[in-house]
A and B are shown apart, each in its own frame.
Chain A
Amino acid sequence: MNASNLIVAGLAFSMSVSAFAAGTHGGGHGHGASIGEPGKASEASRTITVEMHDNYYEPEEIRVKPGETVRFVVQNKGNLVHEFNIGTPGMHEAHQKEMRMMVEHGVIQGNKLNHDMMNMDMGNGHSMKHDDPNSVLLEPGQSREVVWTFANQGNIEFACNVPGHYQSGMYGDVNFE
Protein backbone atom coordinates (compact mmCIF):
# COMPACT_ATOMS: atom_id res chain seq x y z
CA MET A 1 0.00 0.00 0.00
CA ASN A 2 2.94 2.32 0.48
CA ALA A 3 3.45 3.22 -3.14
CA SER A 4 -0.26 3.48 -3.63
CA ASN A 5 -0.58 5.82 -0.64
CA LEU A 6 2.05 8.08 -2.02
CA ILE A 7 0.31 8.28 -5.35
CA VAL A 8 -3.01 8.96 -3.71
CA ALA A 9 -1.51 11.66 -1.53
CA GLY A 10 0.10 13.26 -4.52
CA LEU A 11 -3.12 13.07 -6.39
CA ALA A 12 -5.06 14.63 -3.56
CA PHE A 13 -2.62 17.45 -3.37
CA SER A 14 -2.72 18.16 -7.04
CA MET A 15 -6.50 17.97 -7.12
CA SER A 16 -7.03 20.50 -4.39
CA VAL A 17 -4.82 23.10 -5.95
CA SER A 18 -5.52 22.53 -9.58
CA ALA A 19 -8.65 24.55 -10.19
CA PHE A 20 -7.48 27.79 -8.76
CA ALA A 21 -3.93 27.50 -9.87
CA ALA A 22 -5.13 26.74 -13.33
CA GLY A 23 -7.71 29.45 -13.11
CA THR A 24 -5.23 32.13 -12.36
CA HIS A 25 -2.64 30.90 -14.77
CA GLY A 26 -4.92 30.11 -17.64
CA GLY A 27 -4.46 26.39 -17.37
CA GLY A 28 -0.75 26.73 -17.08
CA HIS A 29 -0.48 27.59 -20.74
CA GLY A 30 0.23 31.24 -20.05
CA HIS A 31 -2.80 32.78 -21.73
CA GLY A 32 -3.50 34.76 -18.61
CA ALA A 33 -7.24 34.65 -19.13
CA SER A 34 -9.32 33.96 -16.05
CA ILE A 35 -12.20 31.55 -16.20
CA GLY A 36 -14.09 33.58 -13.60
CA GLU A 37 -14.90 32.78 -10.02
CA PRO A 38 -17.49 31.08 -7.83
CA GLY A 39 -20.69 33.11 -7.72
CA LYS A 40 -23.46 33.66 -5.23
CA ALA A 41 -26.86 32.20 -6.04
CA SER A 42 -28.52 35.50 -5.15
CA GLU A 43 -26.53 37.26 -7.87
CA ALA A 44 -27.43 34.77 -10.60
CA SER A 45 -29.17 36.40 -13.54
CA ARG A 46 -30.62 33.09 -14.71
CA THR A 47 -30.66 29.35 -14.31
CA ILE A 48 -29.42 26.97 -17.00
CA THR A 49 -30.22 23.29 -16.70
CA VAL A 50 -27.49 21.09 -18.09
CA GLU A 51 -28.35 17.43 -18.58
CA MET A 52 -25.52 14.94 -18.61
CA HIS A 53 -26.09 11.85 -20.72
CA ASP A 54 -23.79 8.97 -21.74
CA ASN A 55 -21.59 10.68 -22.98
CA TYR A 56 -22.79 14.11 -23.98
CA TYR A 57 -24.38 17.24 -22.61
CA GLU A 58 -27.66 18.84 -23.44
CA PRO A 59 -27.20 21.63 -24.34
CA GLU A 60 -23.78 21.45 -25.96
CA GLU A 61 -23.39 25.20 -26.13
CA ILE A 62 -24.33 28.10 -23.86
CA ARG A 63 -24.11 31.84 -24.40
CA VAL A 64 -23.22 34.14 -21.51
CA LYS A 65 -22.72 37.85 -21.12
CA PRO A 66 -19.30 39.04 -19.96
CA GLY A 67 -19.19 38.95 -16.18
CA GLU A 68 -22.53 37.20 -15.92
CA THR A 69 -23.34 34.99 -12.94
CA VAL A 70 -25.17 31.83 -13.95
CA ARG A 71 -26.79 29.22 -11.77
CA PHE A 72 -26.30 25.82 -13.39
CA VAL A 73 -28.55 22.97 -12.40
CA VAL A 74 -26.56 19.93 -13.43
CA GLN A 75 -28.45 16.66 -13.73
CA ASN A 76 -26.84 13.30 -14.43
CA LYS A 77 -29.38 11.51 -16.59
CA GLY A 78 -26.96 8.84 -17.77
CA ASN A 79 -25.89 5.48 -16.44
CA LEU A 80 -22.33 6.52 -15.74
CA VAL A 81 -20.52 8.94 -13.47
CA HIS A 82 -20.11 12.32 -15.17
CA GLU A 83 -18.50 15.60 -14.39
CA PHE A 84 -19.51 19.18 -15.12
CA ASN A 85 -16.38 21.27 -15.01
CA ILE A 86 -15.91 24.85 -16.16
CA GLY A 87 -12.44 25.56 -17.49
CA THR A 88 -10.15 26.17 -20.40
CA PRO A 89 -9.17 23.31 -22.70
CA GLY A 90 -5.75 23.33 -21.03
CA MET A 91 -7.27 23.03 -17.57
CA HIS A 92 -9.41 20.17 -18.73
CA GLU A 93 -6.42 18.40 -20.17
CA ALA A 94 -4.57 18.69 -16.88
CA HIS A 95 -7.62 17.57 -14.94
CA GLN A 96 -8.05 14.52 -17.18
CA LYS A 97 -4.78 13.10 -15.86
CA GLU A 98 -6.10 13.41 -12.31
CA MET A 99 -9.39 11.85 -13.25
CA ARG A 100 -7.57 8.95 -14.88
CA MET A 101 -5.84 8.32 -11.57
CA MET A 102 -9.18 8.47 -9.80
CA VAL A 103 -10.39 5.71 -12.08
CA GLU A 104 -7.23 3.70 -11.66
CA HIS A 105 -7.55 3.97 -7.89
CA GLY A 106 -11.16 2.91 -7.92
CA VAL A 107 -12.61 6.26 -6.83
CA ILE A 108 -14.68 6.43 -10.00
CA GLN A 109 -16.17 3.04 -10.80
CA GLY A 110 -18.13 3.43 -13.99
CA ASN A 111 -21.53 4.12 -12.55
CA LYS A 112 -20.66 4.99 -8.97
CA LEU A 113 -18.22 6.83 -6.77
CA ASN A 114 -16.35 5.34 -3.87
CA HIS A 115 -17.15 8.01 -1.28
CA ASP A 116 -15.18 6.31 1.46
CA MET A 117 -12.11 6.57 -0.65
CA MET A 118 -12.88 10.14 -1.67
CA ASN A 119 -13.22 11.25 1.92
CA MET A 120 -10.30 9.27 3.19
CA ASP A 121 -7.90 11.51 5.07
CA MET A 122 -4.56 11.07 3.49
CA GLY A 123 -2.85 12.09 6.68
CA ASN A 124 -1.74 15.44 5.41
CA GLY A 125 -5.05 17.24 5.40
CA HIS A 126 -5.71 16.31 1.79
CA SER A 127 -8.31 13.99 0.38
CA MET A 128 -9.54 12.88 -3.01
CA LYS A 129 -12.70 14.91 -2.53
CA HIS A 130 -13.82 16.38 -5.76
CA ASP A 131 -15.18 19.61 -4.33
CA ASP A 132 -13.75 22.43 -6.39
CA PRO A 133 -16.34 25.17 -6.92
CA ASN A 134 -16.01 25.10 -10.72
CA SER A 135 -17.06 21.48 -10.98
CA VAL A 136 -19.37 18.73 -9.79
CA LEU A 137 -18.92 14.99 -10.14
CA LEU A 138 -22.23 13.17 -10.14
CA GLU A 139 -23.43 9.61 -9.98
CA PRO A 140 -26.35 8.58 -12.18
CA GLY A 141 -29.57 10.25 -11.01
CA GLN A 142 -27.84 12.94 -8.95
CA SER A 143 -28.39 16.63 -9.43
CA ARG A 144 -26.33 19.54 -8.08
CA GLU A 145 -25.93 23.23 -8.59
CA VAL A 146 -22.92 25.22 -9.67
CA VAL A 147 -23.06 29.01 -9.45
CA TRP A 148 -20.39 30.65 -11.51
CA THR A 149 -19.49 34.22 -12.33
CA PHE A 150 -17.81 34.27 -15.70
CA ALA A 151 -14.98 36.59 -16.57
CA ASN A 152 -15.34 39.00 -19.44
CA GLN A 153 -14.12 36.60 -22.05
CA GLY A 154 -12.03 33.51 -22.55
CA ASN A 155 -11.77 30.16 -24.25
CA ILE A 156 -14.05 28.34 -21.85
CA GLU A 157 -15.64 24.92 -22.12
CA PHE A 158 -17.70 22.92 -19.72
CA ALA A 159 -16.45 19.39 -19.85
CA CYS A 160 -16.58 15.92 -18.40
CA ASN A 161 -13.07 14.76 -17.68
CA VAL A 162 -13.91 11.19 -16.77
CA PRO A 163 -11.37 9.30 -18.92
CA GLY A 164 -12.44 9.09 -22.53
CA HIS A 165 -15.54 11.22 -22.11
CA TYR A 166 -14.03 14.54 -23.16
CA GLN A 167 -12.19 12.86 -26.03
CA SER A 168 -15.36 11.30 -27.34
CA GLY A 169 -17.08 14.69 -27.32
CA MET A 170 -18.53 15.29 -23.87
CA TYR A 171 -17.90 18.98 -23.67
CA GLY A 172 -19.81 22.16 -24.43
CA ASP A 173 -18.73 25.61 -25.54
CA VAL A 174 -19.22 28.73 -23.47
CA ASN A 175 -19.65 31.58 -25.94
CA PHE A 176 -19.51 35.18 -24.82
CA GLU A 177 -22.01 37.61 -26.23
Chain B
Amino acid sequence: MSGVRFSGAVSLFAFLVLPAMAAAQAMIADTSGRKQPLTTWGIQFEELEYRYSDDDEGLGVWNADAFYGTDDFKVRLLSAGEYEIEEQAYETLEHQLVGQIPVSRFFDAKAGVRFDTPEGPDRTYAVFGVTGLAPQWFEIDASLYVSKEGDTSAALDAEYELLFTNHWILTATLDATVAFSEDEDIGIGKGLVSTETGLRLSYDFIDRAVSPYFGVVHERKYGDTADLAETAAGSTEDWFAVIGARIAF
Protein backbone atom coordinates (compact mmCIF):
# COMPACT_ATOMS: atom_id res chain seq x y z
CA MET B 1 0.00 0.00 0.00
CA SER B 2 2.58 2.53 1.08
CA GLY B 3 4.72 1.62 -1.91
CA VAL B 4 1.97 2.52 -4.32
CA ARG B 5 1.19 5.74 -2.57
CA PHE B 6 4.82 6.68 -2.52
CA SER B 7 5.46 6.11 -6.21
CA GLY B 8 2.48 8.26 -7.04
CA ALA B 9 3.82 11.11 -4.96
CA VAL B 10 7.24 10.89 -6.49
CA SER B 11 6.10 10.81 -10.06
CA LEU B 12 3.88 13.82 -9.37
CA PHE B 13 6.84 15.59 -7.84
CA ALA B 14 9.06 14.69 -10.76
CA PHE B 15 6.42 15.80 -13.24
CA LEU B 16 5.68 19.17 -11.68
CA VAL B 17 8.98 20.24 -10.24
CA LEU B 18 11.74 18.53 -12.06
CA PRO B 19 10.70 17.89 -15.64
CA ALA B 20 14.31 17.95 -16.77
CA MET B 21 15.19 15.30 -14.29
CA ALA B 22 12.55 12.92 -15.47
CA ALA B 23 14.88 10.87 -17.61
CA ALA B 24 17.64 10.53 -15.08
CA GLN B 25 15.41 10.37 -12.07
CA ALA B 26 12.57 8.21 -13.29
CA MET B 27 11.90 6.84 -9.86
CA ILE B 28 11.17 3.21 -9.71
CA ALA B 29 8.75 2.24 -7.01
CA ASP B 30 10.13 -0.67 -5.09
CA THR B 31 7.73 -3.42 -6.00
CA SER B 32 10.27 -6.10 -5.10
CA GLY B 33 9.51 -8.67 -2.45
CA ARG B 34 11.59 -6.72 0.01
CA LYS B 35 9.00 -3.96 0.11
CA GLN B 36 6.26 -6.44 0.95
CA PRO B 37 5.78 -7.63 4.51
CA LEU B 38 7.79 -10.77 5.06
CA THR B 39 5.44 -13.71 5.02
CA THR B 40 6.46 -16.81 6.80
CA TRP B 41 5.08 -20.12 7.95
CA GLY B 42 5.88 -22.99 10.23
CA ILE B 43 4.55 -26.30 11.44
CA GLN B 44 5.49 -27.74 14.80
CA PHE B 45 4.57 -30.77 16.82
CA GLU B 46 5.41 -29.57 20.29
CA GLU B 47 4.43 -33.05 21.47
CA LEU B 48 4.06 -36.17 19.40
CA GLU B 49 4.23 -39.04 21.81
CA TYR B 50 3.13 -42.36 23.17
CA ARG B 51 1.90 -42.28 26.74
CA TYR B 52 1.76 -45.32 28.94
CA SER B 53 -0.31 -44.82 32.09
CA ASP B 54 0.01 -46.33 35.54
CA ASP B 55 -3.26 -48.12 34.68
CA ASP B 56 -1.53 -49.90 31.77
CA GLU B 57 -3.37 -47.74 29.30
CA GLY B 58 -1.72 -46.69 26.03
CA LEU B 59 -2.38 -43.31 24.44
CA GLY B 60 -1.22 -41.61 21.27
CA VAL B 61 -0.95 -37.87 21.95
CA TRP B 62 -0.10 -34.87 19.84
CA ASN B 63 -0.03 -31.13 20.31
CA ALA B 64 0.64 -29.34 17.06
CA ASP B 65 0.50 -25.88 15.64
CA ALA B 66 0.81 -24.43 12.16
CA PHE B 67 1.02 -20.75 11.32
CA TYR B 68 1.12 -18.55 8.27
CA GLY B 69 1.45 -14.79 8.14
CA THR B 70 3.48 -11.69 8.81
CA ASP B 71 4.75 -9.92 11.91
CA ASP B 72 1.49 -8.00 11.99
CA PHE B 73 -0.99 -10.80 11.45
CA LYS B 74 -0.76 -14.56 11.62
CA VAL B 75 -3.29 -17.27 11.18
CA ARG B 76 -2.67 -20.18 13.47
CA LEU B 77 -4.16 -23.65 13.46
CA LEU B 78 -3.75 -25.61 16.65
CA SER B 79 -4.45 -29.29 16.89
CA ALA B 80 -4.33 -31.46 19.99
CA GLY B 81 -5.59 -34.93 20.67
CA GLU B 82 -5.35 -37.97 22.88
CA TYR B 83 -6.15 -41.27 21.23
CA GLU B 84 -6.83 -44.32 23.36
CA ILE B 85 -5.19 -47.06 21.41
CA GLU B 86 -6.99 -50.03 22.89
CA GLU B 87 -10.43 -48.49 22.76
CA GLN B 88 -9.72 -46.84 19.43
CA ALA B 89 -11.32 -43.65 20.63
CA TYR B 90 -10.30 -40.01 20.99
CA GLU B 91 -10.31 -39.06 24.62
CA THR B 92 -9.76 -35.51 23.51
CA LEU B 93 -9.67 -33.99 20.04
CA GLU B 94 -9.40 -30.26 19.75
CA HIS B 95 -8.80 -27.84 16.89
CA GLN B 96 -8.43 -24.11 17.04
CA LEU B 97 -8.22 -21.59 14.26
CA VAL B 98 -7.12 -18.21 15.52
CA GLY B 99 -5.88 -14.92 14.18
CA GLN B 100 -2.96 -13.42 16.04
CA ILE B 101 -1.67 -9.84 16.26
CA PRO B 102 1.16 -8.39 18.32
CA VAL B 103 0.06 -6.32 21.30
CA SER B 104 3.36 -5.80 23.07
CA ARG B 105 7.02 -6.48 22.53
CA PHE B 106 6.69 -10.07 23.69
CA PHE B 107 2.99 -10.88 23.50
CA ASP B 108 0.38 -11.48 20.84
CA ALA B 109 -3.37 -11.38 21.25
CA LYS B 110 -5.40 -14.04 19.53
CA ALA B 111 -9.01 -14.68 18.75
CA GLY B 112 -10.81 -17.42 16.89
CA VAL B 113 -12.80 -20.60 17.23
CA ARG B 114 -12.23 -23.97 18.81
CA PHE B 115 -13.88 -27.21 17.82
CA ASP B 116 -13.81 -30.18 20.16
CA THR B 117 -14.81 -33.44 18.49
CA PRO B 118 -13.77 -36.27 20.79
CA GLU B 119 -15.63 -39.46 21.52
CA GLY B 120 -18.85 -38.15 23.06
CA PRO B 121 -20.47 -34.73 22.78
CA ASP B 122 -18.87 -32.09 20.56
CA ARG B 123 -18.36 -28.50 21.56
CA THR B 124 -17.70 -25.23 19.74
CA TYR B 125 -16.11 -22.30 21.53
CA ALA B 126 -15.06 -18.77 20.81
CA VAL B 127 -11.43 -18.24 21.84
CA PHE B 128 -9.74 -15.11 23.16
CA GLY B 129 -6.26 -15.14 24.50
CA VAL B 130 -2.71 -13.95 24.72
CA THR B 131 0.43 -15.84 23.90
CA GLY B 132 4.04 -14.88 24.27
CA LEU B 133 7.16 -14.87 26.36
CA ALA B 134 6.99 -13.80 29.99
CA PRO B 135 9.98 -12.59 32.00
CA GLN B 136 12.46 -15.30 32.93
CA TRP B 137 11.74 -17.14 29.70
CA PHE B 138 8.37 -18.65 30.56
CA GLU B 139 6.38 -19.29 27.42
CA ILE B 140 2.80 -18.45 28.26
CA ASP B 141 -0.43 -19.14 26.47
CA ALA B 142 -3.61 -18.02 28.22
CA SER B 143 -7.03 -18.51 26.67
CA LEU B 144 -10.61 -17.77 27.54
CA TYR B 145 -13.23 -20.05 26.00
CA VAL B 146 -16.93 -19.35 25.63
CA SER B 147 -18.97 -22.27 24.36
CA LYS B 148 -21.99 -21.98 22.12
CA GLU B 149 -24.02 -23.04 25.16
CA GLY B 150 -22.61 -20.10 27.07
CA ASP B 151 -20.23 -21.97 29.35
CA THR B 152 -16.95 -20.20 29.98
CA SER B 153 -13.62 -21.63 30.93
CA ALA B 154 -10.00 -20.60 30.88
CA ALA B 155 -6.74 -22.39 30.26
CA LEU B 156 -3.21 -21.44 31.09
CA ASP B 157 -0.27 -23.23 29.47
CA ALA B 158 3.24 -22.47 30.65
CA GLU B 159 6.51 -23.92 29.46
CA TYR B 160 10.08 -23.56 30.57
CA GLU B 161 13.18 -25.00 29.00
CA LEU B 162 16.27 -25.86 30.99
CA LEU B 163 19.41 -26.35 28.92
CA PHE B 164 21.59 -29.09 30.34
CA THR B 165 23.66 -28.63 27.24
CA ASN B 166 22.87 -26.91 23.98
CA HIS B 167 21.37 -30.19 22.76
CA TRP B 168 20.02 -31.90 25.90
CA ILE B 169 17.03 -29.86 26.99
CA LEU B 170 14.62 -30.48 29.88
CA THR B 171 11.20 -29.02 29.17
CA ALA B 172 8.78 -28.44 32.02
CA THR B 173 5.12 -27.81 31.15
CA LEU B 174 2.08 -26.92 33.17
CA ASP B 175 -1.39 -26.78 31.67
CA ALA B 176 -4.24 -25.79 33.95
CA THR B 177 -7.96 -25.40 33.16
CA VAL B 178 -10.57 -23.52 35.16
CA ALA B 179 -14.31 -23.55 34.43
CA PHE B 180 -16.60 -20.71 35.39
CA SER B 181 -19.68 -22.83 34.89
CA GLU B 182 -20.46 -26.50 34.84
CA ASP B 183 -20.75 -28.50 31.62
CA GLU B 184 -21.74 -31.85 32.98
CA ASP B 185 -22.12 -33.56 29.60
CA ILE B 186 -18.42 -33.42 29.02
CA GLY B 187 -17.49 -33.95 32.63
CA ILE B 188 -16.49 -30.39 33.51
CA GLY B 189 -17.27 -29.08 36.95
CA LYS B 190 -17.09 -25.50 38.14
CA GLY B 191 -13.78 -24.38 39.57
CA LEU B 192 -10.32 -25.73 38.92
CA VAL B 193 -10.88 -28.51 36.42
CA SER B 194 -7.58 -30.20 35.80
CA THR B 195 -3.83 -29.85 35.52
CA GLU B 196 -1.34 -31.59 33.34
CA THR B 197 2.27 -31.34 34.39
CA GLY B 198 5.08 -32.71 32.27
CA LEU B 199 8.81 -33.09 32.32
CA ARG B 200 10.48 -34.15 29.07
CA LEU B 201 14.15 -34.58 28.38
CA SER B 202 14.89 -34.09 24.71
CA TYR B 203 17.88 -34.25 22.48
CA ASP B 204 18.08 -32.09 19.37
CA PHE B 205 18.87 -34.77 16.88
CA ILE B 206 18.52 -32.90 13.59
CA ASP B 207 18.83 -29.13 14.13
CA ARG B 208 15.68 -28.21 15.99
CA ALA B 209 13.61 -30.16 13.48
CA VAL B 210 13.66 -33.57 15.14
CA SER B 211 14.15 -33.82 18.89
CA PRO B 212 13.32 -37.19 20.41
CA TYR B 213 12.43 -37.15 24.08
CA PHE B 214 11.22 -39.19 27.00
CA GLY B 215 9.59 -38.03 30.15
CA VAL B 216 6.82 -38.19 32.66
CA VAL B 217 3.37 -36.60 32.69
CA HIS B 218 1.00 -36.19 35.58
CA GLU B 219 -2.70 -35.51 35.04
CA ARG B 220 -5.08 -34.63 37.78
CA LYS B 221 -8.71 -33.60 38.01
CA TYR B 222 -10.02 -31.43 40.82
CA GLY B 223 -13.22 -30.60 42.70
CA ASP B 224 -16.50 -31.10 40.94
CA THR B 225 -14.72 -32.34 37.85
CA ALA B 226 -13.05 -35.06 39.88
CA ASP B 227 -16.40 -35.98 41.37
CA LEU B 228 -17.92 -36.24 37.91
CA ALA B 229 -15.06 -38.47 36.80
CA GLU B 230 -15.45 -40.73 39.81
CA THR B 231 -19.17 -41.03 39.14
CA ALA B 232 -18.33 -42.10 35.59
CA ALA B 233 -15.85 -44.60 36.99
CA GLY B 234 -12.99 -42.70 35.43
CA SER B 235 -9.69 -41.91 37.09
CA THR B 236 -8.96 -38.56 38.70
CA GLU B 237 -5.22 -38.86 38.71
CA ASP B 238 -2.88 -40.51 36.24
CA TRP B 239 0.83 -40.84 35.83
CA PHE B 240 2.28 -41.47 32.39
CA ALA B 241 5.63 -42.43 31.07
CA VAL B 242 6.02 -40.77 27.69
CA ILE B 243 8.27 -41.22 24.71
CA GLY B 244 8.10 -39.18 21.57
CA ALA B 245 9.63 -36.44 19.52
CA ARG B 246 9.33 -32.71 19.02
CA ILE B 247 9.17 -32.01 15.33
CA ALA B 248 9.36 -28.77 13.40
CA PHE B 249 9.03 -28.24 9.68
Tell whether any CB of A sits under 8 Å from a CB of B in the complex.
no
Give A contacts to B, CB under 8 Å.
none
Give B contacts to A, CB under 8 Å.
none
